[in-house]
Every structure is written in C-alpha cells, then in structure tokens.
C-alpha cells in the first residue's frame, strides 16, 4: 500500500512539474527568457527605532517585464514573516532604482533586536532574481547612513507590508 501511495505521489509531482515547465515556456515565449538582476543594493546597518528603514536597490531586466518586489523580513526570536509583495508601477521595467521601506514607528520593542530583509525581483515570466540581504539593529539616537551618491534614485517604490510583533513577554 505504501509503495502504491509513494508511486502515485511521484507521478503527481512529475505531472505537476511538467505542467509548470510548459506554463513557464509559454510565459517565456511572451515575455522573454531573461531573469531580473539586482545589480547593487544598500541599506544602513543602523537605525533610529522610530524611523522607516530604507533599502535601496538598482535592478535590471533586458526583457523589460519586472513585475513584483518580494521582501522577506526576519526578526530575531520571531523567525520569518510571510513575504511582502510590492507591484512595480514603473513604466520602464528594464531598469528600476529606488528604495522600499520597513516601518518601525511604534515598535519600541525592537530596541537592540536584529532585523534582516531579503529582497528579490520577479518578472512576468516567473523568473526570480537572486536575493540580496541586509540587516539592521534599531537603537535610539541613530542616524541612517546615506546610500552612495549618484548610484540610486531617491524614489519611494513602496512599503514592505509586514506588521512587526514583539517577542512574547517583551514590550
């Protein structure tokens, strides 16, 4: 009985994998085969506890079909939050420069707790860029470092839609 179940499961996975491959090939025929690339990124490693944390990046896709910014936030002792998806609204989707931000206002419980954000770009064909990851420890009376001049646009690409929570027992 177990062997039958295992074989049935393997066959279903194989069929689903083939269907996904076929769907990907159809999308690539429409949108192109290139994967988006995050060429550069920057985020300050220090943050005043009530300021939004800005994560800058410069991305490109020769096919011009970048669609979504994917951000995953990890909080020490809390683990990973569900992915935050931000639709790319730019008309020129071959190049993207700006920042997304994580709101920490009202999150005094984050004092001296490390936050990590990983960012990826997904295109319309389903290709996903390699992740870039940045970390910060919110403290008081800190000033965020500024990104290198002339590299990134000072353009708000949207918020990271995550509501940070205190670790049990902390306020």
Q: What are the boundaries of each domain within the chain?
A: 1-31, 34-159
Tens digit of pLDDT for each residue in 108-118? 777 778 899 99
Identify the CATH assignment for 34-159 out of 2.60.120.280, 3.40.50.300, 2.60.40.10, 2.40.50.140: 2.60.40.10
Q: End-to-end distance of the chain based on CA atoms, in angstroms?
A: 52
The alpha carbon of 104 is separated from its chain's Cα centroid by a whole number of angstroms, namely 17
Residue 42 pLDDT level (bands cut at 50, 70, 90): very high
Rounded to whole angstroms, the Cα distance separating 23 from 43 reads 36
> For residues 46 and 136, is the Cβ–Cβ distance under 8 A?
yes
* Residue 142 buriedness (CB in 10 A; 0-12 / 13-18 / 19+): middle
Distances (CA, A) of 157 to 38, 61, 107, 164: 15, 17, 22, 20
The CA-CA-CA angle for residues 66, 100, 84, to 5°, reads 75
| Type and span of the H or E element at 97 | strand 95-102
pLDDT in tens, 105-153: 777 777 778 899 999 999 998 999 999 999 998 888 888 999 999 999 9
Could you tell me the pTM of the whole model?
A: 0.80
Average pLDDT, the chain: 84
């Amino acid at each position: 009985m177990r062997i039958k179940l295992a074989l049935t499961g393997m066959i279903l996975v194989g069929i689903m994998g083939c269907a996904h491959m076929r769907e990907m090939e159809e999308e690539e025929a429409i949108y192109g085969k290139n994967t988006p690339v995050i060429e550069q990124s920057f985020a300050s490693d220090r943050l005043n506890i009530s300021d939004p944390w800005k994560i800058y990046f410069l991305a490109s896709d020769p096919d011009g079909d970048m669609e979504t910014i994917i951000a995953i936030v990890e909080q020490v002792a809390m683990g990973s939050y569900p992915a935050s998806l931000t639709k790319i609204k730019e008309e020129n989707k071959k190049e993207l420069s700006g920042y997304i931000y994580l709101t920490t206002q009202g999150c005094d419980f984050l004092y001296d707790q490390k936050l990590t954000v990983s960012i990826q770009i997904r295109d319309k064909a389903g290709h996903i860029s390699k992740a870039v990851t940045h970390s910060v420890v919110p403290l008081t009376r800190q000033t965020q470092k500024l990104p290198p001049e002339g590299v990134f646009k000072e353009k708000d690409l949207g918020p990271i839609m995550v509501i940070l929570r205190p670790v049990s027992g902390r306020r």
